[in-house]
Structure 1
Amino acid sequence: MIYRHLLTVMLGGLALTGEAQAHGEHCEAIAASVADAGFDDSVTVTCSDAHAVLRSDTYPDHEMMTGITGTNEQVPVPADYAVPVLLDPVPGTVPLTRDSALGVAVNGVPIFDYTAGGEMSQTDLAHHQAHHDTVQTGQLDACGGHEGRGDDYHYHAEPVCMIAQMENAGPDAIIGWAFDGYPIYGRLNPDGTAIPDGALDICNGQPDETFGYRYHTSEGAPYIVQCLMGEVAAFDALPRVRALTTADGGGVDPGRPPRGGVEGLVFTESADGSRSMDYTYEGEDYYIRYAPSESPGCYDFTTRTVTNGGQVVSGEYCR
């Protein structure tokens, strides 16, 4: 493959050999997946001896929120996010799960499992969690994502809008990386052939000739990476998006999906950086409006939500 950029790895002028060479090649593959997709203007890749660190603001340049009915009444706010992807993947013995991101898309948006009900147990992995399924409960937008409890946008299913933007879109294009160092592809094998029923394991992956293992998205549950098959040291300590807080350190009260779902949810963004999410519920209009404040990394919010009983609430929140 001819890359659009040149990644130079320097170790005192010596040629890379053995493990160092393998690390350099894996680093190059990760950096190339971002650059070849056309996202290297918004995602940086920096490699150390053990990890490739992908840094972004988690805020994609595609439509967001359209199609959500089971809204948690929170909104996407840019966030500084730097996450490590292992350069030396090692198969594990027990699938790893956590109530946070399992990987990152090539556009810098975090990738979660398909649920929104907390960390899954080993037993949960083997059974579809219909009541926590973000697709079936209407919590995701048309692009496969939504905002989390920290007002952070992330994917719970195939990131179809991102894939449509990729300059190298196709079955052989890597759409993301799991934190254990293995790549994530779409619904087909890299050679374009269909994946036979039952070929994907409990984490939605299968063996790969190049990387040893790879994950896939799928039309049905679990839709995307459900767990990690590789070893990850200090897995629960991996970075999370920092939640919004008030000046005195208070957090944003979590929203609750209104019973029966909302209607007409629309998210808009103006050239001045102000944003608004508007929707109706049982004939009443509700909204969350926010814009950058004078303080760096902060936003002035004015909201009228079902969660706060329709009262108009204002305040400044910061990352």
Structure 2
Amino acid sequence: MNINDFSKCLIPLLATVFINIGCSDGTDSTAADAGNTTDNTTAATVDPELFLPDALVGAVSTENCTLSGGTAATCYRITIAGAPANNMIGPFCPPNIDSDATEGGIWFDGSGELYQLDGDFIKNLSNLYGSGWQLYNAETGKVNITDSQLACEAAARPNVDPAYRNYCVECKLEYTGAVQQTFLIPVTPVPAKTQSSIRSDVGIALNGVVLAPAAPVDAILSNYTIAAFDDCGGHINPFEGYHYHASTGCSEVIVEADGHAGLIGFALDGYRIYAMKNMAGDEDYDLDQCRGHSDSSRGYHYHAASAGENMFIGCFSGEQGSIIQE
């Protein structure tokens, strides 16, 4: 399989495998559940003015497009900068088994738990995931970290270099630079006939970062690696740059006047994605399988899952635009 087909997540290593998950236009319609009764026929639309300064490259334009369900539509053409406009990237791996939470990022494996990447976490990996884990030098306490572009790429291959098993994998933005990507997102969302599974990037954050699909944590863990995330739920793929796998508040930059959860960004189908909890710290529980519902102010929209779930939304309710491969 071509390594570019794996581009958004890091398999052992930051980079590759989406088994059967490529950067396609999301046309697969393996429906989660066609029985959704949530009204997704009306919705607040994409607003290019809501992106942070420096989040985008060039002006947003409109053009004719064909959505994943075959609908002819008008799409926004949006090119993101590929690096957060509002915060720093990292840290990722803790340097030592005595490191505290400020020296590392976070880890999540889809179980619902959110782990701090500190020294205690590194020491307790065998208790968490079974025997075979030793991510540090027993004599010095130093954590094994990929500390060069060569090491990062070796740990990121589908056939992981055995020399980089039992490593905490981190890459630096200087290896790839900020990877700009262009998205076509419908100006007006078009409800799909059936909800469709996530087989591409989910969307784009208001701070100019990709909202990626679930990280392939099973593949990562099977190689005795931890593909560390920073506190924003992002990490760097040596082929595709920096991207988010979870919402932790870094891209939640629009405060809603009515106390609703803050806006994170826009999904590939044009619906808005908001944070999981509102300003009072409460979660909505009437969400459909895509994590969407409607209200009188915003119409249909999504709410992101908790970071520990390794996802943003559960599926697409609308016909998706596309990602331009340039």
TM-score (norm 2): 0.49
Q: 2:53 aligned with 1:40, yes or no? A: yes
CA offset at residue 79 of structure 1? 1.9
Residue matched to 1:206: 293
- Over 3 Å counting, the alpha-carbon distance change for 1:102 and 1:211 in structure 2 is same
CA–CA separation in structure 2 for the residues paired with 1:213 and 1:132: 36
List alignment gaps of at least 5 residues for structure 2: 1-40, 65-73, 95-166
Identity across matched positions, percent: 26
Cα RMSD of the aligned pairs, angstroms, is 3.5
Q: 1:54 and 2:70 equivalent?
A: no
1:74 matched residue in structure 2: 171
The residue that corresponds to 1:239 in the other structure is 324
Q: 1:132 to 1:210 in 2, by over 3 A?
A: farther
Candidates 252, 267, 270, aligned match of 1:181: 270
Alpha-carbon distance between aligned partners in 2 of 1:202 and 1:137, rounded to the nearest angstrom: 29
Rounded to whole Å, the distance in 1 between the matches of 2:219 and 2:312 is: 15
Amino acid in the other structure paired with 1:47: T
Aligned: 1:216 with 2:316: no
Deviations 1:108-148 (A, max 9, x none): 1110123236xxxxxxxxxxx79779xx9563111111112
Alpha carbons 1:104, 1:111 under 8 Å: kept: yes
1:46 Cα shift? 2.5
CA distance in 2 between partners of 1:229 and 1:56 (Å): 23
Determine which structure has the larger strand proportion and give its number.
Answer: 1
- How many residue pairs are counted as aligned between the two chains? 192
Whole-angstrom distance in 1 between the partners of 2:315 and 2:219: 17
CA distance in 1, matches of 2:212, 2:295: 22
**What is the letter of the counterpart of residue 246 of structure 2?**
A
Tell me the equivalent position of 1:30.
Answer: 47
Report what 2:196 is aligned to: 95
Structure 1 71/63 Cα, relative in aligned 2: closer, same or farther at 3 Å?
farther
Residue 108, structure 1, aligned to residue 227, structure 2:
no
Q: Deviations over 1:87-119 (max 9, x none)?
A: 121222032321x411000111110123236xx
Kindly report which structure 2 residues correspond to 1:162-173, keeping only aligned pairs within 5 A, or say none: 162-163=251-252, 166=253, 168=255, 171-173=260-262
Match status 1:195 vs 2:283:
yes
Q: Give 1:307's aligned residue.
A: none
**Please, which runs of 5 or more residues in structure 1 have no aligned partner?**
1-21, 118-128, 243-319
Alpha-carbon distance in 2 for matches of 1:142, 1:194: 22
Alpha-carbon distance change, 205 to 95 in structure 1, aligned in 2, over 3 angstroms: same
Structure 2 residue matching 1:32: 3-state secondary structure? helix
Aligned partners of 2:268 and 2:221: how far apart in 1? 23
- 2:241 maps to which of 152, 170, 181: 152
| Structure possessing the higher relative contact order (Cα contacts under 8 Å, 6 or more residues apart) | 2
Aligned to 1:84: 184
Query: Taking structure 1 as the reference length, what is the TM-score of the superposition?
Result: 0.50
Q: Give, in whole Å, the separation in 2 of the partners of 1:161 and 1:130.
A: 27
Native 8 Å contact 2:254 2:262 kept in 1: no
